[in-house]
Structure 1
Amino acid sequence: MSLTAILAVFVLLSPFTRAAADDDSRSAYDIIQDFNFPMGILPKGVTGYDLNRSNGQFRAYFDGSCSFSLEGSYQLKYKSTITGSISENRLADLTGVSVKVLFLWLNIVEVSRSGDDLEFSVGIASASFPIDNFYECPQCGCGLACSPAPQVRKIKMKSLVSSI
């Protein structure tokens, strides 16, 4: 390969190298906002992530599992690693995130954004919530009602399909 060919390949690949380096200095919370999601769909405590920008496959890591309750009615659980595929306004093929509905733990398999609403799907049912419920990141153990000044934030429910 000639020196000109090597330089041409380097020049063509340099934007991709720079983009990957930029991702290294950004948090998982920054990255999900690039895809039009609020940072509050992830709880505090993400220790790292992997993202393949060409196909949207991602992994996000926590020190351990994370669970919390929102407004006392929704219990959520995140495993130490969550995976899925991310694209503009859509998280698909999710693993590692579950919600307690009645007495059952159901896996959240997809989250999609439509305007100012987020729809969470467990496959057989879905629930839609206003996006402003997700501007703040919940904390493992206490959700959004953590001390020193406990504040219970009401989750506004737009619609719930409960065909379970």
Structure 2
Amino acid sequence: MHTFIIFLLLLLHTLPQPSSSSSISIEASIHDLLRSRGLPGGLLPKGVQSYYFSDDGRLEVNLNGPCLTRFETRVYFESVVKANLTYGSLTGVVGLSQEELFLWLPVKDIIVDDPTSGLILFDIGVAHKQMSLSLFEDPPDCRALQDDQGLGKNYMRKEKGFNVLK
């Protein structure tokens, strides 16, 4: 029996130990992940429930719910934000809109070409908007929206009103 216990202890000692890098990646926040990929951590708000980042760069971020925050203008986050994350860029963004001149425009890409420039580029489809990187240093608070406050219903009201005027 004594020999068996020694054998088990030796066997356990020879098994590979978890590396510190794997525990860091499990515990790292989405904000830390963004920073490690050359983007500011404050691109996504506080209130991230979970995220998934695949080896091929697909990123899916689950928030507590849809919410509004402000950088230079108001920004709307859906409950799920998806993008392709590569060093210095989030491309093919889905689930993020920015208010420009009373219109909500989907953000398509977010790019930091040159971190020393202090600028970040937002591609909102019809235009490219440059903003200061300093606006995105810390994750912002994001005001939760109730179902009856969602932008979808505001869109519907505007669209219906526009159609009536046609």
Structure 1, unaligned runs of 5 or more: 1-13, 143-164
Q: Name the residue aligned to 2:63.
A: 62
Identical residues among aligned pairs (%): 23
CA distance in 1, matches of 2:113, 2:22: 29
Aligned partner of 2:29: which letter? S
Q: C-alpha deviations, 1:64-93, integer Å up to 9, x for none?
A: 00112345xx11100011001000111100
Deviations 1:45-81 (A, max 9, x none): 11110000x210010111100112345xx11100011
Residues 70 and 131 of structure 1: CA distance in aligned 2, closer, same or farther (over 3 Å): closer
The code of the aligned residue for 1:92 comes to T
Structure 1 equivalent of residue 157 of structure 2? none
Q: Larger Cα Rg: Structure 1 or Structure 2?
A: 2
CA offset at residue 18 of structure 1? 7.2
TM-score with structure 2 length normalisation?
A: 0.68
The list of structure 1 runs, each at least 4 consecutive aligned residues, that deviate by more than 6 angstroms after superposition, is none
Match of 1:89 in 2: 88
Superposition deviation, residue 103 in structure 1: 2.4
- Identify the residue that residue 99 of structure 1 maps to in structure 2: 98
Whether the 8 Å contact between 2:71 and 2:135 is mirrored in structure 1 is: no
Change (3 A) 1:57 1:20: farther
Distance of 2:57 and 2:23 partners within structure 1: 17
- The alignment of Structure 1 onto Structure 2 pairs a total of residues equal to 124
RMSD of aligned residue pairs (Cα, Å): 2.0
Structure number with higher helix proportion: 2
